[in-house]
Every structure is written in C-alpha cells, then in structure tokens.
Amino acid sequence: MPLMRLDKYISDCGVASRREIKQMIKTGRITLNGVVAATAEIKIDPEQAVVTVDGTALKYDKYHYFMLNKPAGVLSATDDGKQKTVLNLFLPEHKKFNLFPVGRLDKDTTGLLLITDDGDFAHKVISPKSEIFKVYHAHTRLPVNAADIAAFKQGVTLSDGTLCLPAGLELCEDGSCLVTVMEGKYHQVKRMLASRGKPVTALKRLQIGDLKLDESLKPGEYRPLTADELCRVMKKK
Ligand code: URA
C-alpha cells in the first residue's frame, strides 16, 4: 500500500477531522509506533504503522463497504449535475472515501444497494460469472402464473431478442412476486416480467447473495457492513 500522511490515516479511521487531528498532535495525544507523534505530515505505511489516540490503537481499513436502503427518486450514480444521487445520502466523513454504488438500481427501484470504494469487490458482485444471485420483490399489474415461472426457469427472451439466464420466479400470497437473477442487464427484471405481459409497477431489491436488506434501515439510511455480512454477499446459491 502506498505511504500516506499521518493525519489522513487518522482521519480515514473516522476519529476526527484533519484540523482536529493537528490539534491532538500538538497536545501529545497521538503516538506513532510507540513514540508521541510530532507532526501530522509524516508519511506512514498504513499496513505496518501502530497509531494510538489517547492510548487506544486505531484499526485502518483499506476499503469500505456500506449497505444502503435506496429510496425511490435518486440515481445510482456518484454525482449528477441535476439530480440527487445515492452518494448525496452519505455523510462527508464517509463520502471522502471515493465511494460508488455496486451496480445500478433504476431511479424508481428501492432497496438493497451496496456502496464501496473496492473496485474488485464491485466487479465480482456484478459479474454473472460470479453467480451471485439478487432477489427482487416485484409488484406487477397481473399476477404471474405457472407458465411464467416455467419460462423464467428456462431463460426468457426479451422483446429485443436478448436471451436471459435461467431465473427464479415465485408468486407471493398477495399477488406480487419474487424474482431471483444472476445478471444485471439494463432494466432486467422489468423487461423480463414485461416479456411475459406482466409489467412491473414497483420493484425493490431484497437480497444480494446471502445478504438480506436490513429492514430496520429506513429508505435513504445506510450503515457499514459487518465482516460477516461482507462474506455473505459473495455466497452463491
Ligand atoms: N431490474 C430492473 O428492471 N430494475 C432495477 O433497478 C434492477 C433490476
């Protein structure tokens, strides 16, 4: 890992702002490798350095992973000249990690969206080759039937001729349905259901791999993933 300034390291650990850290250094509250740090500018190796604040050792995370309950009406993008994006929902202390959404949900789609600064992780989650399934709850104008379920199992063909991989389809008691897909083509779930004459009226993502949306998060709220949850994302069906 490249070297970084001591104050950036401490600020990335979420302890305080760089201005506050300068003050903490002045008052001798910070040690680096067992010695009271004299300056904020010193370059350190984040994987080797032992930094303490008021005697407590810091833990440096190379990458950051968050679960967002995406509300309707915001774009799955980092920034947009005109419209609100999912990154606008993040606090500056988290946004500073150069976060981006893992794949996209449509503007009107709600639910589980992962936000990270780890490009390899994002690629793995999105790639159909990883066989990580995504579960969506869809409300449709008409309930799906046994023929639709069989067609999804086979792999539906979209109106433009695009062939989809086999997918799961399950009718819920209230007439809505659960769709399980491995891929993330443009408007995939809406187009799959439309191809069966079942246009979607509302769509929410509930699950990625073995990770379920934390329903205690209100739309627009987010929180860091635990280490266990991070592993669950990568779980295949
Ligand atoms: N499929 C869709 O059609 N829309 C989404 O937002 C996600 C999957």
Instruction: Name the band, by pLDDT with cuts 50, 70 and 90, for residue 24.
Output: very high
Q: pLDDT digits over 114-159, tens only? A: 999 999 999 999 999 999 999 999 999 999 999 999 999 999 999 9
- DSSP type of residue 88: G
Q: pLDDT tens, 178-222?
A: 999 999 999 999 999 999 999 999 999 999 999 999 999 999 999
pLDDT reported for residue 150: 98
- Does the structure show a pLDDT above 90 at 16? no
Q: Phi and psi dihedrals of 42, rounded to 5?
A: -60, 140
Q: Is 187 in the pocket of ligand 1 (CB under 6 A)?
A: yes
Query: What would the mean pLDDT of 31-47 be, rounded to a whole number?
Result: 94
Given a cut of 80, whether residue 166 has pLDDT beyond it is: yes
Looking at every residue in the chain, the average pLDDT score rounds to 95
Q: Give the Å distance between the CA of 29 and the centre of ligand 1.
A: 49
CA pair distance 159, 191, nearest whole angstrom: 8
Measured from the CB, is residue 193 less than 6 Å from ligand 1? no
Using CA atoms, how far apart are residues 118 and 112, in angstroms rounded to an integer?
A: 17
Please say whether the beta carbons of 199 and 187 come within 8 A: no
Q: Identify each DSSP E strand in the chain by its residue range.
A: 4-5, 30-32, 35-36, 43-44, 51-53, 56-57, 65-70, 100-101, 110-116, 134-140, 168-171, 177-181, 200-208, 211-212, 222-224
Q: What is the pLDDT of residue 18?
A: 85
The whole-angstrom separation of Cα 122 and Cα 116 is 8
What pTM value is reported for the model?
0.90
Under a CB-based contact definition with an 8 Å cutoff, are residues 97 and 150 in contact?
Answer: no
Question: What is the C-alpha separation between 116 and 69, in angstroms, rounded?
Answer: 14
140 lines ligand 1 (CB under 6 A): no
Task: Please state, as a whole number, how many other Cβ atoms lie within 10 Å of the Cβ of residue 120.
Answer: 9
**Residue 14: per-residue pLDDT:** 81
